[in-house]
């Protein structure tokens, strides 16, 4: 792959076309070389000058512009990734049936790199048998067609068919550049539960005990699982400002006890459970109903704590036949051993099928975009997870889960 990945950004003619500008900005700021290929109808929503200014590349829709360079063949041949966002019902139909009546569809026929379609249309169009058949055909040929988000569409309509957030599309696009085989539909028909974020244990109406977990790894696991075909429930404690993953049911909780209750309910009938949430080990024995005030130079009264239940151990004890359970362990080394040593001991104590061990420290694991570690199996397997996006780590975890299902 070239030093600057070459991305073709196709833009079809739908109201969500304006979001392609945000996606384009994310690609260019990440160091990608981006050529925008809009359809003629897309230019009814966003002018060519906007795409040219943001990409620094010329914009054409037809195959008769710059004929000597043969762009309708060359662009697809040289691309490292093609992303079409939004992909309308019309664009999906033309791509599925091999049409080449504009520059974008011609480039799709010559591309031999990963191709990602991010659909956006009204619910009735997304659910129509013709669209379903076209999506299935594209997926069967190796293209990645994302499941859309649910939410407000045009007018007062709501439902599935909303374009996934540009940040989510950019994350999955990066994943395909890192690992083109990361998004097979091998979890279709499976029900999966993922926990994410850090719990907060209230001290008084203002203060709480918390931790540094941003929830990014759990959200990446939920996002990748959904786009591999699973029905996903995400139990989200406190997280950074993260948008809900497309095609994922999100349940919000605050404390460790709330997360515990939600996980036990959601785990019933699930095929796989992944505990990435950073659950507080302790909580205050009592909640003060008013803000604890300073009292001159006197120290505050001692803080009495009690232990929270171990949610992962409980889920393992209550597991249903065939369930695959994955835990996460944020570890540091000490005089008795390194992070991996402590991870092996934790796997034995927890009794789960797989344990992801992250060595934590300043600038690693928490509150950052990338992650690394080891994937330990109860069968004695150990796999190093090299540094990459959190979506990449998620894809490797789901490989192991799918193999065990």
Q: 46, exposed or middle or buried, with CB in 10 Å at 0-12, 13-18, 19+?
A: buried
- Any idea which residue has 């940040």 for tokens? 167
Extract the tokens encoding 320. 């249903």
Sign of the alpha-carbon torsion through 376, 382, 387, 388: negative
Q: In the numeric block, which tokens belong to residue 193?
A: 């539960």
C-alpha span between 20 and 43 (Å, rounded): 12
- Please give the positions annotated as active site: 211
Q: What span, in angstroms and rounded, lies between the C-alpha atoms of 353 and 324?
A: 6
CA distances from 87 to 118, 119, 124, 170, 353 (A): 5, 4, 15, 15, 39
3-class secondary structure, 87:
strand
Nearest to 401 by CA among 341, 342, 346, 355: 355
Measured between its terminal Cα atoms, the distance across the chain in Å is 34
The two structure tokens encoding residue 3:
């030093």
Q: Please name which of 353, 252, 338, 263 lies closest in space to residue 308, comparing C-alpha atoms.
A: 263
Three-state DSSP class for residue 271: coil
CA distance 16 to 118: 11
Task: Classify 324 as helix, strand or coil.
Answer: strand
DSSP type of residue 270: -
The 3-state DSSP class for residue 35 equals: strand
Angle at 114 between CA 109 and CA 116, to 5 degrees: 85
């Amino acid at each position: 792959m070239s030093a600057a990945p070459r991305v073709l950004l196709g833009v079809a003619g739908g109201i969500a076309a304006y979001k392609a500008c945000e996606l384009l900005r994310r690609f260019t700021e990440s160091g990608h070389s981006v050529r925008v290929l809009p359809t003629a109808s897309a230019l009814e929503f966003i002018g060519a000058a906007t795409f040219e200014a943001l990409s620094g590349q010329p914009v054409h829709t037809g195959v008769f512009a710059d004929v000597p360079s043969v762009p309708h063949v060359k662009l697809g041949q040289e691309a490292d990734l093609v992303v079409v966002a939004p992909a309308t019902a019309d664009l999906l139909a033309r791509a599925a049936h091999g049409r080449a009546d504009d520059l974008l569809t011609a480039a799709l026929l010559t591309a031999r790199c990963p191709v990602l379609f991010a659909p956006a249309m009204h619910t009735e169009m997304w659910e129509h048998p013709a669209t379903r058949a076209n999506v299935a055909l594209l997926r069967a040929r190796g293209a990645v067609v994302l499941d859309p988000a649910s939410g407000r569409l045009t007018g007062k309509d709501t439902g599935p068919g909303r374009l996934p957030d540009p940040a989510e599309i950019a994350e999955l696009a990066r994943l395909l550049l890192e690992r083109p085989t990361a998004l097979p539909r091998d979890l279709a028909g499976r029900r999966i539960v993922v926990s994410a974020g850090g719990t907060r244990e209230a001290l008084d109406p203002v203060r709480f005990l918390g931790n540094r977990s941003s929830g990014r790894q759990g959200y990446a696991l939920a996002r990748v699982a959904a786009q591999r075909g699973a029905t996903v429930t995400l139990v989200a404690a406190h997280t950074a400002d993260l948008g809900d993953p497309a095609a994922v049911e999100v349940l919000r909780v605050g404390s460790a006890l709330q997360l515990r209750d939600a996980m036990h309910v959601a785990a019933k009938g699930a095929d796989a459970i992944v505990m990435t949430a950073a659950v507080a080990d302790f909580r205050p024995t009592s909640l003060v109903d008013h803000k604890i005030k300073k009292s001159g130079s006197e120290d505050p009264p001692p803080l009495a704590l009690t232990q929270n239940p171990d949610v992962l151990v409980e889920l393992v004890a209550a597991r249903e036949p065939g369930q695959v359970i994955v835990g996460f362990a944020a570890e540091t080394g000490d005089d008795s051993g390194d992070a991996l040593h402590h991870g092996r001991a934790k796997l034995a104590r927890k009794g789960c099928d797989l344990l992801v061990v992250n060595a934590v420290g300043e600038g690693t694991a928490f509150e950052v975009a990338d992650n690394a570690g080891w994937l330990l199996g109860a069968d004695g397997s150990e796999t190093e997870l090299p540094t990459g996006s959190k979506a990449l780590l998620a894809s490797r975890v789901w490989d192991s889960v799918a193999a065990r299902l």
